[in-house]
Amino acid sequence: MKKLFYTILSLAVISCTDLDVPIESSYTSDVFPKTEAEFASVTGPVYVQMRNNIALDYYYLQELSTDEAVLTARGADYYDGGRYIQLNLHTWDETHPHIATTWTWAYRGVSLCGEILAALEPAPESETKERTLAEIRTMRALYYFFALDLFGNVPISPAYGNLELPSNSSSGEVYNFLVNEINDALPYLSKEIGTVTYGKPTFWMAHALLAKLHMSAEIYAGTPKYQEALESINLIMNATSNGGNRSFELEADFMGMFDVANGPQVREIIFAIPFDQNFGANGMRLGRFPLHPLSRVNYGLPTTISVGNCQHTWADFYYLFEEDLNDVRNQIWLAGPQFYNDGSPMMDGAYHVNHDPEIAFVNVETFDRGRSPQQIAQGARNVKYTPDGTWTSSRDSRNDFVLFRYADFVLLKAEAILRGAADPMGQSALELVNQVRSIRNASPYTSIDLSTLLDERGREMAGETWRRNDLIRFGTYESAWGRDAATGLPVKTNQETYRRFYPIPQGELATNPRLVQNPGYR
């Protein structure tokens, strides 16, 4: 079901491989795009850019800075100058490489959108043009959202062609700018849900983005906007009553939403970034990050797996899932003694591989956990994104990256109600949370509060790049976590609240003297 989308996207990849070529230089009044395929070929670089980093450095910033994930060293392997440790311990500074690459990724996306909007604005008027411009404005808003959420006081770039260096805008100004941008685009976005619009901004994707902005408005702009978030979520919940050709629904097959064959047939997906080995798999490696080398047999992987880049979770986060052993969300974990698919024990020499959730460091200062078979096997591993048995030497996967999905917004609506929003549909927070728990085969709650809801969001959204956003909104980003099993002490103890935003990278400050560093950083 992905094939039609990838056929269109491939035109874009072929048509613009050099993303630094000014787009408007390629189009004159005689050759403006007119058909759907022609517009897709012009706008494709915007979507290619999204794939470049969403499941790599952006993922690291959103996951490794929380209690959900940790990337440890094996002696010198994957110490990498402490870049992963700094994210876990909240000790990064403006020189951190993943911070720099993520900033560049987001603003390259903003720039591409600006180039394409400038190139297409003079094109003859048509419904396709209006919709395409609205889609690109929404994609630009998404790139800006990533920058806002990560960095706070970011610049709003001038119109394409204006060479003036931008200065910082406050996070509140950026929030207001994005809300206005999305609202201006909404009337022109498609309400169709399915293969034709999969991977592109739709009316529903735009409201999902608005809901995310409004849920964190108190962080960005100092003013709660939970009622506005609820209004956008209600539109999504009532898609068929608001012009949609079908509804969004909670999916019973939890793991199927993240499998290599996920795609437009998944009725819970509101917006995903498509990956495919033929049309741009580069960068989708989440399925291999957590695996022990011997696990390749169970997934039919054609190449060996490095023991270095092995991502785990902290034990206490894993223990959230022990609340109900019938919960199908427990399937995301490889934990405890491991077995091959035929039932035989997975043996590393004489050692039965055991993914003990507790991690004992040999040297906590360098996050070194040692290199023995027992030490390599430590840690529960999140395999929500199913490892792809068809990956090649690049080890990239076909799983589409799911950014917005329906269950997230069911839980966000419950949170908005708990925070004071009034629901015209008359739903309660408890009812909404139990909708999700029911389809996940978890026992229903009899009451709900914000603390319990945060734990539930952890179970539902683990590994989907929203934990940092959640912890900040719930005021727990400064908590201690990451117990060292060797000492019983927490590893991450930094409570500096200014780290809710990352620093503006050193290179950006050096090239643009109008930028001012975020508070707290030197």
The secondary structure of 223-248 as a DSSP string is S--HHHHHHHHHHHHTGGGGT-SS--
d(CA 398, CA 257): 13
DSSP 3-state assignment of 349? coil
How far separated are the first and last CA of the chain, in Å rounded? 50
H-only helix segments in 52-153:
57-63, 83-89, 97-120, 127-151
CA dihedral 420, 421, 426, 432 (to 10 degrees): -80
- The residue count for the chain: 522
Domain limits of the chain? 293-382
Q: What is the pLDDT along the chain (522 residues), one digit of tens a residue?
A: 344 334 333 333 333 323 333 434 444 555 788 888 888 889 999 999 999 999 999 999 999 999 999 999 888 788 889 999 999 999 999 999 999 999 999 999 999 999 999 999 999 999 999 999 999 999 999 999 999 999 999 999 988 878 899 999 999 999 999 999 999 999 999 999 999 999 999 999 999 999 999 999 999 999 999 999 999 999 999 999 999 999 999 999 999 999 999 999 999 999 999 998 666 556 688 888 889 989 989 999 887 776 655 789 999 999 999 999 999 999 999 999 999 999 999 999 999 999 999 999 999 999 999 989 999 999 999 999 998 888 665 667 899 999 999 999 999 999 999 999 999 999 999 999 999 999 999 999 999 999 999 999 999 999 999 999 999 999 999 999 999 999 999 999 999 999 999 999 999 999 999 999 999 997
The whole-angstrom separation of Cα 66 and Cα 314 is: 9
> What confidence score (pLDDT) does residue 406 get?
98
- Per-residue CA distances from 205 to 310, 406, 413, 521 (Å): 33, 11, 16, 34
Amino acid letter, residue 196: V
Judge contact between 206 and 190, C-beta under 8 A.
no
10 Å CB burial of residue 124 (0-12, 13-18, 19+) is: exposed
Q: What's the pLDDT score for residue 41?
A: 87
> Distance between CA atoms of 67 and 4, rounded to whole angstroms?
39
User: What distance in Å separates the CA atoms of residue 232 and residue 242, rounded to the nearest whole number?
Assistant: 12
Contact 363, 379 (CB under 8 A): no
| pLDDT at residue 477, as a whole number | 98
Q: How many C-alpha atoms does 305 have within 13 Å on its Cβ side? A: 27
Positive or negative, the CA dihedral 29, 30, 36, 38 is: negative
Please state, in angstroms and rounded to a whole number, the distance separating the CA atoms of residues 491 and 148: 28
Dist. CA 94–CA 213, nearest whole Å: 25
Task: Please give the backbone phi and psi of residue 213, each rounded to the nearest 5 degrees, phi first.
Answer: -60, -45
Residue 377 contacts residue 348 (beta carbons within 8 Å): yes
Beta bridge partners of 352: 347
Helix 171-185 to helix 203-215 angle (10° resolution) is: 160
Report the C-alpha gap between 29 and 376 in whole angstroms.
61
Pairing relationship of beta strands 490-492 and 333-334 according to DSSP bridges: unpaired
